Structures are given as structure tokens and as C-alpha cells.
Structure 1
């Protein structure tokens, strides 16, 4: 598993230093992790009075809480719920299939409501047809009034020829089938989880219900996306037999991450996969979560577009009076809403856009919306507060590693963001067409909370590790002269490499990080810099 990802190194604890606003960086570079079953929480410092607790639940979805420093980690739910969402594990849009992976199943599944249908296990694998003979296969006898079906087309993942059943008359065993409703029911579990481990400092399994203090914690999570064709074919080839596990039309991700479980479900383990995703989530201090991800596509496919990091817009962060959205490297845009009654919005995301309460949008940002089509936006940042920014969240893709590295000039990135009316954050990482079996994509991305009060002159200011290096991100929307930015004491002496910056920002510090921090100027109303420290 380790060979899949970049080499990662441990690091030492920071000494205490004082930042503007009296915010201390003392001892906050440790985290505390606590595991209960397949869920765990990670605690690190947010401010002198509060810690941030990241909750990982439903396999790889996220919640966040602010708790006073004297509250035990096991009581984190007593804190302020900053954010919670059950649909954030990365999803991939498979052309003609819809979204798979993430929390998704096949969107071609349907629940047929047939009161007192009298069907039994013997009917599993049976063929229900439309008038022209097009088949739907019985996948599950849900209860006495419902069954789960899925269409059968060509059997090809590339050109499946599946239908979305809605109202067409249906027939079974030569007779009309008197169904009352045909309801969307995503066929699951297509996510076959073969590895799921939580390791303190990347080495030691985290015990149950115990507070563990460490530098970081790794969640190793590997799963296949089973081809819906393989699932239907297996039922057709085994008529009258209840599958194990059963195919269902509700949320389910299947754990087969031990030899015992794999032995328990031998037929399930044989089903062909369309893709395999190998994830290493590294949870660090300061609310940072860096994902090292490898995708291997096993089928010939028309295309995929992948979202390797997402953020649902729920919780306290969404209730603040002022909510700003900052996407560097974008042109100003005029965006029309989903209906004719919606106003046209003048959106300048590079200028740190103050979002109106309602943004009834459904728009995908593509290369034409970027200032440079060979340098697409890599980070997507929101801050929120009632009067001044109080909470910050940054989603981003690596500028130095994986498919989004600057050297790749945005190849295989035709689109970079989907703005949906709920304001959920959907940054795309890559878009592929005409995929051959064996196509492999490696990405590095992150989701990181930050305290905007750490440096009030900055729109955003955060750092985390990537491989052997540290990445520091600084964005400004004001003019500054000889500005001192204090950094953690353990950065002192590290070699500086400027990954990217705007011409409007001048860095006065050269070669290595001084003990006092770095000095810079910003001319005009906007500037940013990304530093790599070694």
C-alpha cells in the first residue's frame, strides 16, 4: 500500500511563538485521535480557547466541531457544529453511467411498487420486459409490496444501452405487471472496500475508545467500483438464489477488508470492477486533511470526470451573515440562474466574492473561465463571519505532485468547478475521454480549516505537509508594505522555493526562513504566494 503513494516523513513539534491577535502556535502541531468502530475523531488547536475536532464517519465523510479546550474529546458533540455532511467522499462522473464511487450506486436501479406481489426468492434473476422485449432483471425482493430491478442492455461498460424506466408498461411471465410506481433506487453496494485501516503516525493501529496523541493519523482506504453490468450478470447467472450480500436500493458501502470477510463473500469478490481507488488520507494538526489518491480504470470507458474533494454547505459556517468565496486565477463572470426569474450575478471570485444568500446556479466552470487555460484554479476557499471572518475552509489540488502539478499545464482538466445552487463545493480534478483499461491517475488534494484571525491582513493563510515538503499558502486582498508574516518556529532555516505567486506580490525573504518569519509587499488589491519549504 505504501508503494502507491509519495514517500512521507514525520516531523517534530513546533516551539511556542506568538502571532498577531495573540494567537499562539505552542504545541498545537500534535493531534489527538479517538476511534470507535469505523468512525474516528481528530482534535487539534484552532485558537487559544478552542480546539477543532474533525469527525470521519460513514467511511470517509466529514463533520467538524469547535470545543473549549477543557472539554474531553469523547464529549466533542457538546461543541459547536461547524459543519456536517454525509455525501463528501469523492465521487466520479462516469459518462452515460452517472456518478459512481462516493456514496453512489447505479442510477438505473428502480423500485417497483406492486402491492402483494406474491414474489419470492425464486423470482430473483427473473426477467421483466417492456412491450418491445427490453429486459429488467429482478435483483431483490424488497418486501411483500416492492421489488428492486435493474435493466440489462449490451453488457458493455463502454456502451451499455441501459434505459431509465419510468412509466412504460411492464410484463412478467407473459402477463402485464400491475406496478403502481417506478421509483429511482440506486443499486448498491457497488463500492467493495478491500482495505480500511487507521494508523497513528502511519504505523500503529489506533485502539478502540482511547485518546491517542500523535503527529498525524493515516486512514488507508481502498475500494473497487463494481461494474453494474457485473452485478446484474451475476444475478442472471444464478436465478432463484439470494445474492450475498444482497443488492439493495439504499445506502451501503460493503466492507470486505479482512480475509475472513472476503472468504464469507466469495462470489461478490469475483465481480469485475470498473475502477479501483486507493486512498491515503493524512489527518494533521490545524484541521488539515491531505489525500494521496490513485485511481485505476479497468474497463474501456467513454469518459470520467472526478471530484477528489468536496464540501457540503451545512452547519454553523453556513449561518454566518457574511460568506465569501475566493477562487484565484478566474475571470470575472456574469452568471445566469436556473430560472428566468433569477437575477444575473456579477461574480468576481478572484476578488473574494461576497456571496448573496441565494445563488440559484447550475454552472460548470471550464478553461474559458480561467485567466490562463494552462493554469487552472487549484484552490477554492470560503470564509464566513457575522462582522469579520471567523471560520475558513480551503479545498485544493497539488501544484507540485500528481495530475494537477503546474508542469502538466492543466492537461486532462477541461473543467474545474461545478457551482450548484446548494453552494456545496464541487471542484473537479480531471476529465478523461476514451479511456483504455489500465488508465491510472494520481492526485494529491486537501481539505483544510483555518482561523482567519491568525493573520487578519490575509484572506487565507494555512500550511500542511505534502510528501517530504511543507506547503504554505498566503492570499491577500489589500495593499501591504513590508508585511511580516510569522510562521511556526520549526520552519526556521528551511529552504524556500516559490511554487507560484502573482507579480503584485514581492517576497523580501530569500533562500531560507528566518526565525522572525517572512516579509513581503502587496501592490494593488490582490496578491498571493505559495511556498514550498524543505
Structure 2
């Protein structure tokens, strides 16, 4: 099997291609999001005979649609960063309002006397208003509802009736400082030029703008269209993200961040994911280690034993101690694995595997550290989207300026059909180490897990495993592979090879 991957860039879109099976390649497209930040797009399986032209790279079998997998922060009561702006804008529908750029920064009041400021003329019938900051310059708070059906202005006197209003996100909210596309982490990728590589890095850095700073700037410059991400505006958080892609379907994410100002944290996952796209597949399943069976909405769930995930969730599922669905409050669920497949004679044949997870050996998601900082480890929303938490209000809620964050996480696709006995088996590199994950849902006797030749002779360390799994291979990796046995119907192991 080819141990390299191919990459090509067309405008904002980068296509990353690697071998998935003897017949198909895995194709990942990464583009730009609402704030022009790096954004996961689609993932396909394409025939390995197809080419690398832009037209050929838009076909295949869609297995994952990722329109909103760029993770925002939840701070000061709103989502911001990633594809989000602060949910603070009042977008008013005012047919033929007649306001122009000359009116930007003007002050208006609703029926309750709350002051609102015009920050954008969207079009001839729509306007954006931002209320006065009801909080502090750093810990901002904006009014997200209006009293009455009109705004009034004192000077010059005017009344602005509106027929509709809704909360909109204040975008763009991210000041992009860097977006580099690097072959083997070093050489910039030229547009339209196909390359082969051992790994591919997308390096991004951006600041999240403090909306209170933007409001002050608009008010101070009436009648002028101000840039929402201008260099002089204050920022609350700086994100530095390295997305490293490997030829085995893995994307390891090194996410560092700094609090430039104090803020109240709601939560931050550093990763999130849309569900796999079922399409023509007939089964969609979800496996989450370190969970236990529970009931909600009259439904019995068992994610550790592999849960059917093909139906719409009636309500969000929260995995936390008070919901009695965790094995160990000190060792929270940190791997979230979905499968697509088909039914054959009442038996499920898994074809596509996708693992989302946190590093167990680096950064703030090491089990003991994460347990100190998280009250709720995971939410599965009614959209079937996965929202893990690396930190939440248990860490703060007030985060001081200067606080540093470092999270190592991953997204990884694997060929589930190629696994004879294991439910899941995948591995990837983290800072020179190789982290290996193996999961079983049946008893096995001396099953062999084959690893790349480059790992032969390297030292094996056990990060964690169930008592039911025996690792017969000790000390170093033999060329013949790792040998494991599982007693009973379940077992897993997480190993570090260095």
C-alpha cells in the first residue's frame, strides 16, 4: 500500500488524498469558513483510478459532510470563533428604511430605553444594530431582544419602524494572521500543483475580536464603514492551530490558544464533528468507550456496546456524572467512533470507521487533567453532531488574561472492512510517538495487529487497557505485529510506541 499521500490546492480548497482500500481512496477537502478561517468540508471515497483535476475531485461516495466542524469558543454567553460570531446583533427588517453609510454609529432607543447603535446597512430593507454594552469592556454583554416595534433617534429626530427582528451573528469575528499550506510541514504548496508527501500541514493563526471594542470603534467614527476585524481592534483570544494530515486517514490537531483578555468560559471542545453521512449505507453506528448503559426519553442507550445511530435523537445526550452514564468520573470518555456499513443476514458488516478523539498523553486532555476541568464530557445534539468538552465552566468560569491552553486531538478515518476481529484499530503520530488504539467486541485468542515496518524494534508502553485484554507482545514491536487476546465480549488497549 502507498505510504504517501497526495495533495493539491485549487483556490481556497485543499484536497488531501490517500489509499483507503484496494479499490478506493480517501479524499478530504478542507476549505474556508464563515470567518474565512480554515474549515473542514467534505470527505469522499473515490475510485483509485480517478485523477486529480478539480472536476474529478468532486465525485465519489460522500461519507462525511463537515460544513461546521471548525470549533468556536463558548465565552461570555455566546459562541465566537470558528464559523461563529457573537450572537449579539439585532437584524431588523425595515422596508425601504432609507438609511445609508452616513447613519452608521447613530444612536437609537427601543421602547424600554435601551440604546442600540447602527453598525451595518445590510441592504435597502435590512439593518444591523448592536445594543449598548451592558457588561464590562472585557466581559461584554449585549441585549438580544427589543422592546416595542420601532426605534427612535433623538438627533436628528427619527422613528424607525420594523416588521421583523432576529438575532444574527456578528461576523466576520476572526482576524486572520496566518494560513500556511506546507508539504511535509516545510514547503508551501503551489496552487494547482499536485504533490506527494509523508504528511501535510495546514497552519493557522487568528485573533477573535472583542465585539465591545468593535462597537466603541463604530461609535467613535460615525458615518464611516468600519472593518469588523481591523488591526487596531482589541482581541479576546488568539488561536494557533496546526492541522497535520497523514496518509493513513489521520488528522492530528495541535491547538494552542492564549487569553488576551479575561473572559467567562462556557466550554471549549477544540474539536467537534458532524455525523457521518449515511447515504446509500444501510447502517450507522456509534461506539464510545468509558460509557455505561442508560435510558433517556424512553430509549435504552448503550454506546460502549455499539449504539444504533441512524435515528434522530429526541433530545440532547449529555455524558456526565449526574446522568449516570460514565464508567469513571476520573477517566472521561475521550474517543468517539462512528461506523457506516450494511446488513447481511441480520449481521452488520462495517465498512467505514471514523474516530474523533483527544490525546491521552499530551496537553489538557490527559485524563486526570481533563477531569479537573470538565463537568460534562460530551454532548450528542439532536442534529446528531458530536460536541466533546476539553474544558468548561468547571475550569473558571473566569479565565484571566495570559492563560495558555494546549490541546492535542485527532480525526481519523479507517477501513473497518479490513479488520477481521477488531471493532476498531487505528494509530497515528504525536510529536514523534505513535499512539495505537485497538478495540474488540468479542473474545479473541492471540489476534495479530500489524503495524508499519518503521515501528519495528521500538518500545511499547501501555497507556490504558481493560483487564479483559492481554497484550502478549511486551517491550518492543516485532516485525510480525502485536499479539493480543480478549476474554469475554469486550476489551480495548491504548498504547504508546516510541
Give the shorter-chain TM-score range.
over 0.9
Match for residue 44 of structure 2?
65
Alignment of 1:205-284 (within 5 A): 205-244=188-227, 247=228, 268-284=230-246
* Equivalent in the alignment of 1:383: 339
Q: Identify which of structures 1 and 2 has the higher relative contact order when contacts are C-alpha pairs closer than 8 Å and 6+ apart.
A: 1
Counterpart pick for 2:448 among 477, 484, 494:
484
How far did residue 38 of structure 1 move? 2.4
Measure the CA separation in 2 of the matches of 1:102 and 1:520. 41
Deviations 1:261-283 (A, max 9, x none): xxxxxxx1011111111000001
CA–CA distance in structure 1, aligned partners of residues 426 and 357 of structure 2:
12
Distance 1:533 1:424 in 2: 32
5+ long unaligned stretches in structure 2:
33-37, 344-348
Tell me if structure 1 keeps the 8 A contact 2:470–2:484. yes
Question: Unmatched 5+ residue regions in structure 1?
Answer: 1-25, 248-253, 255-267, 337-343
Change (3 A) 1:157 1:519: farther
Q: CA deviation at 1:194?
A: 0.5
Aligned to 2:256: 294
Aligned position for 2:295: 334
2:369 to 397, 408, 415: 408
Structure 1 equivalent of residue 5 of structure 2? 31
2:86 is paired with a residue whose SS is coil
Contact 2:421–2:447 (CA under 8 A) maintained in structure 1: no
SS of residue matched to 1:408: helix
Query: What pairs up with 1:495-534 in 2 under 5 angstroms?
Result: 495-534=459-498
Structure 1 residue 155: deviation in Å? 5.4
Pick one of 365, 376, 379 that aligns with 2:319: 365
Residues 85 and 157 (structure 1 numbering): CA distance in 2 closer, same or farther, change over 3 Å? farther
Residue 50 of structure 1, aligned match among 16, 24, 31: 24
CA distance in 2, matches of 1:163, 1:277: 27
Distance 1:39 1:519 in 2: 41
Aligned equivalent of 1:493, options 435, 457, 466: 457
Shift of 1:318: 5.4
Aligned-residue offset at 1:85: 2.3
Indicate how the Cα distance of structure 1 residues 454 and 38 shifts in structure 2: closer, same or farther if over 3 A, else same: same
Deviation of the 1:516 alpha carbon: 0.8
Answer yes or no: is 1:196 the counterpart of 2:179: yes
Rounded to whole Å, the distance in 1 between the matches of 2:140 and 2:206 is: 23
The Cα offsets for residues 87-116 of structure 1, whole Å up to 9 and x where unpaired, read as 1101121142x1111100121112111111
- Alignment TM-score, normalising by the size of structure 1: 0.86
Deviation at 1:57, TM superposition (A): 1.2
Q: Give, in whole Å, the separation in 1 of the partners of 2:139 and 2:194.
A: 50
Q: For the Cα contact (< 8 Å) 1:52–1:286, is it kept in 2?
A: no
Distance in 2 (alpha carbons) for counterparts of 1:478 and 1:124: 66
Deviating more after overlay: 463-472 vs 72-81: 72-81
Corresponding residue for residue 414 of structure 2 = 450
CA distance in 2, matches of 1:366, 1:230: 36
> Structure 1's 183 and 72: CA in aligned 2 closer, same or farther, altered over 3 A?
same
1:130 matched residue in structure 2: 110
Instruction: Give 1:407 shift.
Output: 4.8
Q: Tell me which protein shows more strand as a share of its residues.
A: 2
Please state whether the residue corresponding to 1:349 is helix, strand or coil.
Answer: coil
What's the counterpart of residue 349 of structure 1?
Answer: 303
Shift of 1:165: 2.1
| Aligned partner (choices 74, 78, 100) of residue 59 of structure 2 | 78
| Structure 2 Cα separation of the partners of residues 468 and 133 of structure 1 | 60
TM-score, normalising length from structure 2?
0.93
> What is aligned with 2:433?
469
> Residue 226 of structure 1: CA displacement?
0.3
Are 1:367 and 1:376, in contact at CA under 8 Å, matched by a contact in 2? no
Contact (CA 8 Å) 2:5, 2:246: kept in 1 or not? Answer: yes
Pick aligned residue for 1:185 from 168, 177, 184: 168
